[in-house]
Structure 1
Amino acid sequence: MASTAQAQSIAAAQSVAITAARNHSPAAHAPLQKLTTAHGHFLLPPPSANLPAPSVLLRGVNLTSSSKYPPFAPSTPSATGTREERDRARLEEAGWRTDIPADSGWWEEAEQGGRDGWFVGRPLKEEEADVHFKRLTAWGFTTIRWVIPWEALEHAGPGKYDEQYIDYTIRLMRKAKSHGIRIFISAHQDVFSRFTGGSGAPYWVLLACGISPRRVHQTGAAVLQSQYKTEGTVIWNANTGRLAARHCFTMFWASSTFAPKCQIDGEPVGDWLQKRFVGAYEHLAKRIQEAGDLFDDSMIGWDSINEPNEGFIEIPDLNVIPEAQAFRKGPSPTPLQGFQLGIGQSVSNIENADFGSLGLKKKGTVTITPPGGQGLWLTKAESDEAAQKWGWKRGAEWSFWDEGKGGCVWAGHGLWDPASGKVLQKDYFVNKPGGGEYEFIDQFWKPAYIEYIRAIKQHQPEAIALINPPIFARPPNLTQEHIGDRAALSSHYYDGLTMMGKRRHLFNADAVGIQRGLKSMLGAITFGDSSIRANFKKQLNELSSDAADTDGMAGKNASQEWPTIIGEIGTPWDMKKHNGLLGLTKGKLKREDYDEPAKAMDQLLGAGDGANALSYTLWTYEPLNTHEYGDGWNGEDLSLFSFADLAGDDDLPAMDPQDLSSLIMLGARGVQSWCRPYPLETTGEITKFAFNMSSGKLELSLRLPALSQDPLVGSSASVLSAGENMGYTKIYIPYVHYLATNPPAALEAGIVAKRILGEPDSEGSEWVKGRGPAVVDLEVAELSEGSLTVEGQWGMWRYPLQQDKEREIKLVIKPWKRV
């Protein structure tokens, strides 16, 4: 900390420092540099051998929900007229479907392997990409988590890659790079595949696992959102507990252990599938490497498979719904009931569940009768047809069709008896035959990830290896031998109550603490805004601790201290206002009123600030979003942007914005909550970082290390000459909160010590066309030392670094004369 004399001297110099620095403007965009990961930070190269490496906060978006499915041929021509008609036309142009009847081309095209360039246009139309990237950077975002499902790469069959889609992806990534955007790729899936109610694996993969995608929904093996008619209900994630996803995940991760009779081309089907999965993303990496201009400054890394699920592994009793399956919605069969439905048997007494503000609710039971007694599993004829079409050969032991077991893999391995309907080995997936228990993450997920990232690093040795463990689970120890010297944790976090109930509550619970056994249900409950905010901060802190914990990624070498980026975080925009006791009842809210979701988003993102100072990529940016159908994927409505929020019926102002106001504000939903100030780059350690959405006040405190002791410098710093010892923090200061509404021609004498009127950006962009350039207007409420300058939406706080003296410095800003 600075001494009292130093503080008095600094305070006296503030007026001079702020005024003098006004003529020294920061560059809005510097050339991208390769990042390293160490000491819990994403780091830029140090400015010189004597100075610390600046740390970086990566903040951005996922791109996009529609990346999870291919465009289809439109069933109707483009419409004109009302906003609703135009929204619908846009979806039709993209091939979005509101329902999927059994005879739909949705199935037929997938059954034929799609077509060349099937996913071209995902995530964005190429001709529209520049305006979207420009909008994202104007919002202060610098990073994209690029969603690429396995299906997009290899839909035509094993080893048949869609080169047209990869060419398109490379061109789009180059556009992103030209806007100063960093990218990391998400090998994306949700509950395994589009055909089990989510996204990810191609159609042929389900056939390889022995099941018929067309019969998934009718056997209760998954609930396809398009065929579940409750409007606005998010039910897809409950499919993790149903037969189709559980079976496919188990086969993918561990068929050699649990289904050894199931082989394709002479090897366990899971090993065979993993080789194809890894091969598809390795081929993409090879193509990007050959492009020659994306690794490593812009395309920085590769995420592990999105939100992996264990399938049946570790279920203690197949007769009952596992305790870990606390989230259930709709018909929820036990594993045994799923097996029975899977062979076409009618099953009654199936729990009908819901998940509300107070958790799980049981709403009686239902009966499911598969039409015509047809089950989930392929018949012998269907299996032979699939093998011929897709070019594989099943092993001789995969012959359950001839044993009266309806093709059921698990009956064929003796887990249950279809005749009696009884489980024969209830603990098959938890207890090893020779003693001990199976562990999904260490035994099955970890080896698969190591093989995946090894293949990627053949083509991008300097890639950041991002680790996305199962939801709220601890990652395994991954040494530098496995992942190299660039790695990061990429956990996900959503507020489950808000996501599922689509309303902001006056209470909440520590979901991470409950799942990890750190809190009891009663001890996890919090009430009131401040307690909820503190609760979210604790949960994010607990997740990020896994990157440095000796029980997590760092293992025994805790000095690794990998950084964390929250790969997905967000909140729904189709909320209802909370009414009544504790907000348990829904009130009416206009569809365009984003006050409630903005408050929920502010609570959530505020938790990433503070001492956590986390990087994150929000879910999601989706230009196809509409009020009627949300993000166009499984009832979700989380897009930061929607054409449906434009006034009138004309999209042109948002697609060809003539001023910054049109670029930044049109279509933006609850923008004040997520377009928020933050320190992008900093020399030093963030000790306090708080933003008040209502007042616009930003508080930022840094600990500056003594240079000779700085852990981010490879060796002791030498004596620095004058001018070489300046540190800095680059801060995003958004117009959304700090725009000068009526900037004066000159600052009045006497207030210059507190006020900064920023310079226009290098292009002199106008907030409203014809009314002069946009500038920031802010009050410096506190500046312990150094100087602050602002150009466009970027501020530069510069301060001296000192030899052998650690100290803390502080900056507080707020909008000038905000009422």
Structure 2
Amino acid sequence: MRRSLTLFLALGCLLWCIACAEDDYTLDDQATHSITRIHTQNNYFKDEYGRYLFLHGANVSGSTKLPATVDPVSYTGKPFPLDEADANFAKLRDLGFNFIRLLVIWEGVEPEVSGEYDEEYLDYIEQIVAKANDYGIYVMLDMHQDLFSRWLRKYYVDDSGGNALETLPGLEDFASPPFNDVIQGDGAPRWVVQLGLPEKNVGGPQWGLPRSLVGDQRETSDMLPLHWGVDNFLSLDVARCSATFFAGKTLYPNYLVDGKNVQDYLQDSFANAWLQIVKRVKSYPNVLGYDLINEPLGLYVVYTLYALLYQEAKDTTDNVLSQQQVEDQVDIVLEQLRRSGMPESDLVIMRDLYLNWVELPRTPDEFEASGFPLGESPYKPDLTAAFGLNSNFNRNFLQPFFSRVGQAVQAEDPDAIIVIESTIGLDDTAGLFGFYITPMLAPEGINQLAFGPHYYADVYPFVLSYNPTPRDFTVDEISFRDYSEGILGAIKQASFSLGNVPVILGEFGTYFNLGGIEKATESDFIVPAHIIDNYYDTLEANLINRSIWCYSSENTALWGEGWNREDFSILDTNQQPRASDAYSRITPRFTSGRLVSYKYNSPLAYYDPRPGVPTPYQEFNLEMLGLESSAPTEITIPKAKFAQGFYVYVSDGRCLYDPERGILYWYPYDDDPNVSHTIRIRPPYDDYGDSSWNYYFDGEKMLEGRQ
């Protein structure tokens, strides 16, 4: 076969490939025209040319959870300053990402009072979206929260000699100032938290101090310095704020703010905060959609438990509970969870937590300080509603919330894709022994819906508390784990009850300080790399859109991304990629036919050796069915991965490569709807007799082979 080395002008090649009539059409034009608003079709994302969009992205960023300044509070500059935006988006693009889940914070939009907005922050968000557009990166905006708000916090001393804190007295040993750390949430502004905890002095001089140092419990939060996720289920403050936000009309029917029930007031404020963002960004073609709220709380065990204790105390002569009465009420709550399908092993842990870690109320004063007044008050919860809060929460409360806020966003941006998540709580697709299933349904009135669940494998460096000896993992222990069951379980609601909508796995990832940051660094983060690679094995096999947690340009060895010492960032302390073999992958960006399968052979994967056959590290194979668009299939090729060039094999058609953006354009010829089109990309191995390649690309050079 004759091979000819030809240096193509990009203009001439593109004109020949697509028969473009305009003499000045360039690769820059192709890149610009590739970005259009996306719409949903069944369980796919498609662009205006009829191509299928495939999302390979990252969350930007974990450091956004904390404000840039606290007095006055401002989130302008999070996730990174505008003068660093070009460098960061270039890095994201060069790593192969075509999509970001951009965190925005309610407190950043509406920091002080309802209806007053931080225009500087809104300007900043718009500029970040615009800059992402310049780099061909789609954006899904995510109104982020964890533990409801950063105003729910607890200070503590991070110094336990490596021993886990196992009991509440153990926690109190670390309650003496000076404090050097804090466990906290993120999301809602202080004025919202104050409405959720009306009897408390939110943000007062003692706010966040350990209870042992505060005389009046109304002056501080009830958070515990544990792994932050545990406070979702142990903190009454978190539960009350979230319950007021989602279910205030049911729980507090007489609690009015400016003539509205507190739930309506808060949800209207939240929707209006969203609208300030939507108005700024809706005109940009790279806006994929709006993830209405991150990880809403859906399990209110501690709230129900307090309500049961409150009812029991009212029926007691002196309104004081004995230890046995407390234990009896705990068991009643656990029985409700057992009937809802919670595993027995989890129930044992929950019982220990509530009896030994949470300071449950026993006296009238303790109930008053916990937001359960014995006398008449608009802040007294409806006990019947409180008892039933954990039953069908997603359908009864979350689904109407999504409909309300989603319709408001959609009215402002008719092209909006509304992304919803499931709650942190019980699996509502399982029911009791497979029966009595009442899952959340698609919210009413939403024209374009997508599902954005999260999944994290059990690779946490500690259990329940801060200050324990870190859990350690080995490569042999981790590298062959299969996350298929967990990931497929996380996404199944999309087809189970939401109408088979498109799916984006909005978060997944791992700590990079497993075994301690020094050991992890010395090993070149090999354990996190294998964990992340395992995720992608399942994601690719099932063609799942995804965004890894997280990309953060702010990272230190001690504090990680800065929030609760989480260290998930794929960038190290020098803002350089770490473990990039796992996530910097060749991926489809757009396909002009329906994607059937694709596979990237990671350097981290295990391959059975075959005599005489090179191990296919970094090879990529894709198959698609038919042609539904004359626009090219686009494949992202991370620039750093193929510094020595790469070979391309195609079933039919022509190829063109944009080395600046790392995009391979493929124009198949055969438009028979039943024909499968295939492409294979591989690095330049030593030749082993495979001479059937069609193209070799190295920067702007192209070697043309078999045609």
- Partner of 1:191, secondary structure, is coil
Following the alignment from structure 1 to structure 2, what is the Cα–Cα distance between the partners of residues 305 and 366? 29
Contact 1:692-1:698 within 8 A present in 2 as well? yes
Following the alignment from structure 1 to structure 2, what is the Cα–Cα distance between the partners of residues 313 and 463? 35
Following the alignment from structure 1 to structure 2, what is the Cα–Cα distance between the partners of residues 205 and 553? 30
Match of 1:37 among 33, 36, 40: 40
Shift of 1:449: 1.2
Per the alignment, residue 97 of structure 1 pairs with none
Following the alignment from structure 1 to structure 2, what is the Cα–Cα distance between the partners of residues 807 and 20? 30
Q: Which amino acid aligns with 1:729?
A: T
Q: Say which is worse superposed, 164-173 or 620-629, in terms of deviation.
A: 164-173
Per the alignment, residue 596 of structure 1 pairs with 527
Contact 1:696-1:737 within 8 A present in 2 as well? no
Contact 1:504-1:596 within 8 A present in 2 as well? no
Contact 1:306-1:468 within 8 A present in 2 as well? yes
Per the alignment, residue 392 of structure 1 pairs with none
Following the alignment from structure 1 to structure 2, what is the Cα–Cα distance between the partners of residues 335 and 786? 73
Following the alignment from structure 1 to structure 2, what is the Cα–Cα distance between the partners of residues 553 and 18? 52
Is 1:58 matched with 2:55? yes
Contact 1:621-1:641 within 8 A present in 2 as well? yes
Report 1:321-360 matches (<5 A). Answer: none
Is 1:119 matched with 2:70? no
Offset from partner CA, 1:432-458 (integer Å, 9 cap, x none): xxxxx9421111111111111111122
Offset from partner CA, 1:536-592 (integer Å, 9 cap, x none): 234333444433x2x4211xxxxxx42111111222111129xxxxxxxx9954467
Report 1:613-632 matches (<5 A). Answer: 613-632=543-562
Per the alignment, residue 440 of structure 2 pairs with 476
Q: Flag the 1:347–1:497 CA change in 2: closer, same or farther, 3 A.
A: farther
- Partner of 1:174, secondary structure, is helix
Per the alignment, residue 198 of structure 1 pairs with 185
Contact 2:122-2:276 within 8 A present in 1 as well? no
Contact 1:27-1:791 within 8 A present in 2 as well? yes
- Partner of 1:123, secondary structure, is coil
Q: Which amino acid aligns with 2:564?
A: N
Shift of 1:692: 2.1
Is 1:734 matched with 2:664? no
Q: Flag the 1:505–1:159 CA change in 2: closer, same or farther, 3 A.
A: same
Q: Which amino acid aligns with 2:283?
A: F
- Partner of 1:244, secondary structure, is helix
- Partner of 1:469, secondary structure, is coil
Match of 2:567 among 622, 637, 641: 637
Contact 2:223-2:237 within 8 A present in 1 as well? no
- Partner of 2:566, secondary structure, is coil
Contact 1:727-1:801 within 8 A present in 2 as well? no
Per the alignment, residue 806 of structure 1 pairs with 674
Is 1:701 matched with 2:622? yes
Q: Which amino acid aligns with 1:184?
A: M
Q: Flag the 1:243–1:344 CA change in 2: closer, same or farther, 3 A.
A: farther
Following the alignment from structure 2 to structure 1, what is the Cα–Cα distance between the partners of residues 461 and 254? 41
Per the alignment, residue 717 of structure 1 pairs with none
Offset from partner CA, 1:26-82 (integer Å, 9 cap, x none): 947333211111132111122xxxxxx21011222222222222223xxxxxxxxxx
Contact 1:731-1:794 within 8 A present in 2 as well? yes
Q: Flag the 1:576–1:507 CA change in 2: closer, same or farther, 3 A.
A: closer
Following the alignment from structure 2 to structure 1, what is the Cα–Cα distance between the partners of residues 84 and 685? 39
Offset from partner CA, 1:590-638 (integer Å, 9 cap, x none): 467211111111111222112x222222211212210111010012101
Q: Say which is worse superposed, 590-599 or 33-42, in terms of deviation.
A: 590-599
Shift of 1:505: 5.5
Following the alignment from structure 2 to structure 1, what is the Cα–Cα distance between the partners of residues 311 and 558? 35
Per the alignment, residue 696 of structure 2 pairs with none
Following the alignment from structure 1 to structure 2, what is the Cα–Cα distance between the partners of residues 122 and 528? 34
Q: Flag the 1:170–1:813 CA change in 2: closer, same or farther, 3 A.
A: closer
Q: Flag the 1:376–1:455 CA change in 2: closer, same or farther, 3 A.
A: farther
Per the alignment, residue 403 of structure 2 pairs with 450
Shift of 1:461: 1.0
Per the alignment, residue 430 of structure 1 pairs with 388
Contact 1:565-1:617 within 8 A present in 2 as well? yes
Q: Which amino acid aligns with 1:147?
A: L
Shift of 1:674: 1.0
Per the alignment, residue 138 of structure 2 pairs with 182
Per the alignment, residue 486 of structure 2 pairs with 539
Match of 1:277 among 270, 276, 300: 270
- Partner of 1:300, secondary structure, is strand
Is 1:259 matched with 2:280? no
Match of 2:666 among 788, 794, 797: 797
Match of 2:498 among 547, 550, 553: 553
Q: Flag the 1:58–1:456 CA change in 2: closer, same or farther, 3 A.
A: same
| Count of aligned residue pairs for this structure pair | 572
Following the alignment from structure 1 to structure 2, what is the Cα–Cα distance between the partners of residues 818 and 505? 36
Shift of 1:504: 7.5
Shift of 1:676: 0.8
Q: Which amino acid aligns with 1:462?
A: D
| Structure 1 gap segments, 5+ residues each | 1-11, 47-52, 73-105, 321-332, 338-342, 352-357, 380-397, 416-424, 432-436, 509-526, 555-560, 578-585, 647-665, 708-712, 714-724, 741-776
Q: TM-score, normalised by structure 2?
A: 0.70
Contact 2:457-2:486 within 8 A present in 1 as well? no
Is 1:299 matched with 2:276? no
Contact 2:586-2:620 within 8 A present in 1 as well? no
Shift of 1:366: 5.4
Per the alignment, residue 89 of structure 1 pairs with none
Following the alignment from structure 1 to structure 2, what is the Cα–Cα distance between the partners of residues 589 and 250? 40
Shift of 1:670: 1.0
Q: Which amino acid aligns with 2:531?
A: A
Q: Flag the 1:449–1:589 CA change in 2: closer, same or farther, 3 A.
A: closer
Contact 1:67-1:147 within 8 A present in 2 as well? yes
Is 1:490 matched with 2:452? yes
Q: Flag the 1:27–1:460 CA change in 2: closer, same or farther, 3 A.
A: same
Contact 1:66-1:622 within 8 A present in 2 as well? yes
Provide the identity percentage. Answer: 23
Contact 1:67-1:148 within 8 A present in 2 as well? yes
Q: Flag the 1:672–1:204 CA change in 2: closer, same or farther, 3 A.
A: same
Following the alignment from structure 1 to structure 2, what is the Cα–Cα distance between the partners of residues 539 and 308? 19
Offset from partner CA, 1:406-426 (integer Å, 9 cap, x none): x895xx4475xxxxxxxxx7x
Q: Which amino acid aligns with 1:448?
A: F
Per the alignment, residue 111 of structure 2 pairs with 155
Contact 2:599-2:620 within 8 A present in 1 as well? yes
Shift of 1:126: 1.8
Following the alignment from structure 2 to structure 1, what is the Cα–Cα distance between the partners of residues 76 and 387? 40
Offset from partner CA, 1:179-211 (integer Å, 9 cap, x none): 222222111111111122211111111211223
Q: Flag the 1:375–1:698 CA change in 2: closer, same or farther, 3 A.
A: farther
Report 1:747-762 matches (<5 A). Answer: none
- Partner of 2:588, secondary structure, is strand
Contact 2:291-2:418 within 8 A present in 1 as well? yes
Per the alignment, residue 751 of structure 1 pairs with none
Q: Which amino acid aligns with 2:671?
A: Q
Contact 2:254-2:378 within 8 A present in 1 as well? no
Contact 1:250-1:311 within 8 A present in 2 as well? no
Following the alignment from structure 2 to structure 1, what is the Cα–Cα distance between the partners of residues 107 and 91? 29
Following the alignment from structure 1 to structure 2, what is the Cα–Cα distance between the partners of residues 183 and 476? 26
Following the alignment from structure 2 to structure 1, what is the Cα–Cα distance between the partners of residues 312 and 509? 35
Following the alignment from structure 1 to structure 2, what is the Cα–Cα distance between the partners of residues 284 and 673? 33
Q: Which amino acid aligns with 2:388?
A: V
| Structure 2 gap segments, 5+ residues each | 15-25, 153-183, 212-216, 314-318, 331-344, 430-438, 464-469, 604-615, 688-707
Q: Which amino acid aligns with 1:68?
A: K
Q: Which amino acid aligns with 2:243?
A: T
Q: Flag the 1:153–1:628 CA change in 2: closer, same or farther, 3 A.
A: same
Q: Flag the 1:203–1:33 CA change in 2: closer, same or farther, 3 A.
A: same
Q: TM-score, normalised by structure 1?
A: 0.61
Contact 1:18-1:788 within 8 A present in 2 as well? no
Per the alignment, residue 688 of structure 1 pairs with 597
Q: Which amino acid aligns with 1:806?
A: N
Q: Flag the 1:336–1:174 CA change in 2: closer, same or farther, 3 A.
A: farther
Shift of 1:476: 2.9
Q: Which amino acid aligns with 2:404?
A: E
